[in-house]
Chain A
Amino acid sequence: MGRLEQGLDWLDDRTGYRRVIDVALTEPVAGGASFAYVFGSVLTFVLLLQMTTGIFLAMYYSPSSTDAWASVANIQDGVTMGWFVRGLHAYGASAMVILAGLHMLQTAAYGAYKKPREMSWIVGVLMFGLLMAFALTGYLLPWDQTGYWATRVATGIAGSTPVVGQQVQQALQGGNEYGNLTLTRFYSIHVFILPALLIGLVVIHIALFRRHGVTPKWGQSKQQLERTTQPFWPDQMFRDMIAIAVVFAAMVGLNLWTHGAGLEGPADPGSSFDARPEWYFRPLFQALKYFHGPMERVVALGLPVVVGGVLFALPFVDRGDDHNPKTRIKYLSVLGLGVVVAGALTAVSFLADSNDARYQKAVAQAHQRAQLARRLANEHGVPAAGGVAVFTQVPHYEAKQLFAKHCASCHQGDARKGPEFGPGYNSRPWIRAFLLNPNGKRFFGLSGFGKMKPVKERGDKLDALVEFVYAQTGPADVKGDLAAAGAKIYENKCAATCHPAKGEEPDGSGPPDLYGRGSADYLVDLIADPGQKRYFGKLNIVGGDKSGDDDDDDDDDDDTKKVKKKVQIRMPRFGRKLNDDQRRQLAEYLRSLRRN
């Protein structure tokens, strides 16, 4: 006797484990093993897989509205094989739904819900309901755009329940709005409550199965069945394992092919997102499109009740000993019709989406945004504010938002009024183009500011002038000699005629001081009030450039008094709207355009 056997004998002596295994495996399968009976075992396998992957996902998941998406993104893009584990869990959910459906169809076809197995069927229908609850609660947990918006619809439907709707909805989502409590609630339901219920029902389901045994194919005599009976192990288990292997291979293959389940961008209540539920809710989703007004909620709440009611009633309506599907065709056709309608609705829903160019575009955009969010989350982490705050990790994110809100209407697009700010702004080529044609549309042509004479210098002198202007913006790659030569030309030509000379106090007549132009401090100050003497002065007042070369301070004051009521300025002062920090961010953003 080998050491191992000795050890096992010892273990069996103390625990009696062999008897347990023996009892578990020596189930006689009346009429012989068959591939028709594999679904229960495959479901049990996928359930175990779901529990395993689920438990390990919980190891890296954090159910809070700030952390949920970030933690799932970390599983997806950071943790070793995290995408694989999460993908198995997601595809496992789909597999459960498909297998449960097939299991029920097989049971119905064989009349296995008939006396004395009614309770097995009822427990099974309850478990199918739990599967749906699993799917619904699990879909929200990543707190991404699809999960967030699709689940809002689901809880919204619950909220349309007559009389107690509000209470039901608030109990489900944990308060008046989606937030931390929604996640902690869904999480606890998904990982503690539902599994406990499901395990309980699985135990009952299997115990009932062991009590009544398999329902063999119809039309066999008792003697026939006894003669062809085979043991569960290994005859049936072998077939079960083949089915398990096929399902597992399909799941793993799909998981590898798609590199795990999808993850949209972080939930953003401020966005508009065209959400879709998981595929197994598509029939209901599509059905709701055909009903409006009060009928909508009747269908949304009623359809699941009707489907459940029909399923529960089945064993009590389809009675009698006859298991032959041909004689039970009217009952089976109800189920068949249900499957066909659900399939048709699903197909219509997916077809409608694939033919909807606008939807496809929105999906592509959302996908791009999701990719960006995930890249930023992986590289920089998600700020404590969570979720969409990940986008603030984009360089100049704040500034771009500010620019879009306050500046873009005048500085970008065809309807703009000022110079165009885009990639290359204040680069050498931009400055050169500006100096040669300052009144072009790209520059001051649309602004209504006075006209600047184009620079007449060419060749080396133009190069020098460009370098001089470029040097003012404070870049690192200035050619010093060239810029110095440019400064001389500037002092001789430009400062002598219009622009203030070096060190000269600007008189406010308009042409701005070029020293320091484009530097951060210069821009911060200019954005605060472009009408300051150092910048555009009177040029920034509509009609201000025509009031001539009025140097007298007193007159200036008079002027302001006179025009105070109807003074119209060209570029607004942002000193109050944007604080110093915001203007500095904008300035840094504008300076960053040079490199682009």
Chain B
Amino acid sequence: MVESNDSMADADTLEGPESEAGGGDGSSPVDPSRRTFMARATVSMGGVIGAITAVPLVGYVFYPVGKKLVRSPDEPIEVAAVHELPPGGKPLLVAVNADAVRDAWSVSAAPLGAVWLRKLDKGGTTEVQALSATCPHLGCSVGYDEDAKEFLCPCHKSVFALDGEKKSGPAKRGMDPLTTEIKNGRVTVRYKKFRSDVPDREEV
């Protein structure tokens, strides 16, 4: 195959179009330097037109890079009532629903994610611990293993203690804690997302 291709190319003895333009096909004789000028001018004009089109398109395509196009107000969000949380520090998974999530052009109420809540009694006062249910490894949804009393990510088997501390598995850090507050018997969470698969927490 390769050989036959070679022979074809040889047989045609291809030359640049310019060299052919002056001579054969009964073309009228034109000063070759004029043809060179026309060829160069044509290519230059094409280049300028291409650039004028391409440069804005680059900006256009990379518009979303580094922008927070999906965002919600940075306010604590009410997720549950304290009395709904099971006693004895047993975790409960709740959804975090924001009133107004801006997603590029639209704005609507939408869930941001889920958190594991635990009611803890610390010297008589009630505190609520919130851990993001997003696995710090690769972003799967972390579940709870009732029997072992530990958090377990079903995707890659990262295991976390009840306080979120990493026990085993590929995750590079423990589960991400979120700030909570109790107001009038209601639990609010300040929801955040962190970069996955890095040892330190970087907010995204």
Contacts and interface: CB of A to CB of B under 8 A. Distances in A.
Interface of A: 12-14, 16, 18-19, 21-22, 25-26, 28, 32, 49, 52, 56, 59-60, 66-67, 70-71, 73-74, 78-82, 84-85, 88, 226-231, 233-235, 237-238, 241-242, 244-245, 248, 252, 377, 380-384, 386
Interface in B1-49: 5-6, 8-9, 12, 14, 17-18, 20-21, 25-28, 30, 35, 38-39, 41-42, 45-46, 48-49
28 contacts: A16-B5, A19-B9, A19-B12, A19-B14, A22-B20, A26-B20, A28-B26, A32-B28, A52-B53, A70-B105, A70-B106, A73-B105, A78-B63, A79-B63, A80-B62, A85-B60, A226-B26, A227-B26, A229-B27, A231-B20, A233-B39, A234-B18, A234-B42, A245-B49, A381-B107, A383-B108, A384-B106, A384-B107
B27 A231 contact: yes
A336 to B, nearest CB: 33
Given A230-B28, A233-B39, A381-B102, A56 B5 contact: no
B52 interface: yes
B57 interface: yes
A21 B15 CA distance: 11
Secondary structure call for the A interface: helix
Contacts of A49: 53
B148 interface: no
Nearest to A59: B61
A479 to B, nearest CB: 33
Nearest to B52: A252
A421 B35 CA distance: 79
Nearest to B18: A234
A203 to B, nearest CB: 22
Contacts of B46: 241, 244
Contacts of A14: 5
Nearest to A228: B28
A235 B30 contact: yes
B21 A384 contact: no
Contacts of A242: 45
A84 B63 CA distance: 13
Given A81-B60, A234-B35, A21 B105 contact: no
B104 interface: yes
Nearest to B108: A384
Contacts of A82: 60, 63
Contacts of B107: 380-384
B45 A244 contact: yes
A78 B35 CA distance: 46
Given A230-B28, A386-B106, 9 more contacts: A26-B21, A28-B26, A67-B106, A79-B63, A82-B63, A228-B28, A229-B26, A380-B102, A382-B106
Secondary structure call for the B interface: helix
Given A79-B60, A235-B21, A229 B28 contact: yes
Contacts of B28: 32, 227-230
B124 interface: no
B88 interface: no
Contacts of B123: none
Nearest to A227: B28
A241 B42 contact: yes
Nearest to B46: A241
Given A22-B14, A381-B105, A231 B21 contact: yes
B106 A230 contact: no
Contact of B9 (A16, A78, A382, A383): A16
Contact of B56 (A85, A235, A380): A85
A571 to B, nearest CB: 35
Contact of A241 (B8, B41, B59): B41
Contacts of A380: 102, 107
A70 to B, nearest CB: 4
Contacts of A227: 26, 28
A13 B105 contact: no
Contacts of B63: 78-80, 82
Given A26-B17, A26-B20, A49-B53, A80 B60 contact: yes
Nearest to B109: A384
A475 B82 CA distance: 35
A238 B41 contact: yes
B39 to A, nearest CB: 4
